[in-house]
Amino acid sequence: MACRELRAKGFGIARDDFICTCQTKNFLEFATIIKIDFGTTSISEIKDIISRCSLLSCSFLAEKIETHEEFHQAKELGFHYFQGYFFARPEVMKQKDISPLAHLVLQILIKVFQEDCTMTEIEQIISRDVSMSYKLLKYINSAHFSRITPLSSIRQGLAFLGMNEIRSFVTIIAVSKLCQDKPNELLRTSVIRGRFLEQIAAELQRDKGELFMLGLLSLIDAILDNSMAGLIDRLRLNGRIEEALVKRTGELFSYLEMIELYETAQWERLDGLRQNAGISEGRMAVFYLEAVHWADRFT
């Protein structure tokens, strides 16, 4: 049997959309992961499946987890892995305040994106943070830039990257600090969104920094478990970004909606926005793949 041979060679096998029947039970001994759709399977059915499979050496994956309540419920039922967009939504708690670290990071973001912020000020910000300094030097000396002679100082790195690129870099590192107690996928999704929209901006000859920030901060409410309105007000971003993130309307919102639709494979709605913007279907795929590869260098 093919499944037996694959397991013998070390492959893991996931049983998708599992429903317990006489036919499916024959494959359970080969499964390493059993995936159960939370959207279509009742709690009583889920408990029954877990009970029947309790003696098997497999793990359970909960699909279509869309809320934090479903996530906690799945954990209590014994699931080990989770799929869904629950992690990308804030879990707002009454009177929850921002931690001192988060407040400091937000202040760094505010400073970096002030129009009068200079390279010297950014150098001072990075030099005071050992991990940020290390990541900057690692980034500029990576294979991505194909440098023959490595750069060895923060000042050289800043001069090499330029103001727009360094603002993007500092923002990513700052957001990564905010994500320390969150799933890594939340940071990765934020970075992919920022890079994706940055490429759209370049294609349409728009402000790349503006669309990068729009994508990167689009999940800041989930990262800090706070309301988007309150957080964006603290950052003092321009009105276009604020309108897109808080009110989900305005000049820039259609670009944010593009990446959200791409992530959820809502191709028909995406095609309408893409065509209105004048972007070819093939270019969207290129932008997304490049954004994924780019994000892998930071997350």
What secondary structure, in 3-state letters, does 226-273 show?
CCHHHHHHHHCCCHHHHHHHHHCCCCCHHHHHHHHHHHCCCHHHHHHH
pLDDT on residue 86: 74
Which CATH number applies to 2-84: 3.40.50.10190, 3.40.630.30, 3.20.20.450, 3.40.50.720?
Answer: 3.20.20.450
pLDDT on residue 95: 46
The SS3 assignment for 210 reads helix
At residue 256, the pLDDT reads 96
Distance CA 28, CA 48 (A): 15
- The pLDDT assigned to 261 comes to 94
What is the model's pLDDT at position 239?
87
SS3 181: coil
Indicate the residue type of 34: I
3-state secondary structure of 127: helix
Fold observed for domain 100-295: Hypothetical protein af1432 (1.10.3210)
Task: Please name the helix (run of DSSP H) or strand (run of DSSP E) that holds residue 36, with its range, or none.
Answer: strand 33-37
Q: What is the pLDDT along the chain (299 residues), one digit of tens a residue?
A: 676 776 666 777 777 766 665 555 566 667 778 888 887 888 888 888 888 777 777 888 888 888 778 888 888 888 888 888 777 776 655 545 667 777 777 777 777 777 778 888 888 888 887 877 888 888 788 777 777 788 888 888 888 888 877 877 887 887 888 777 777 888 889 989 999 999 999 999 998 888 988 998 899 888 888 888 888 887 777 889 999 999 999 999 999 999 999 998 899 999 999 999 999 989 999 999 999 988 887 66
For the chain, domain boundaries: 2-84, 100-295
Give CA–CA dist 125/127, Å, rounded: 6
Q: Where are the alpha helices (DSSP H) in the chain?
A: 2-8, 22-25, 43-52, 68-77, 100-112, 119-127, 130-140, 154-161, 163-178, 184-204, 208-216, 220-224, 228-235, 239-242, 253-263, 267-277, 281-295
DSSP lists the bridge partners of residue 274 as none
What does the pLDDT read at residue 292? 93
Check residue 96 and give its pLDDT. 56
pLDDT for 23 equals 54
Helices 281-295/184-204 angle, 10° precision: 140
DSSP 32: S
Q: What's the length of the chain?
A: 299
The pLDDT value given to residue 226: 84
pTM metric for this prediction: 0.69
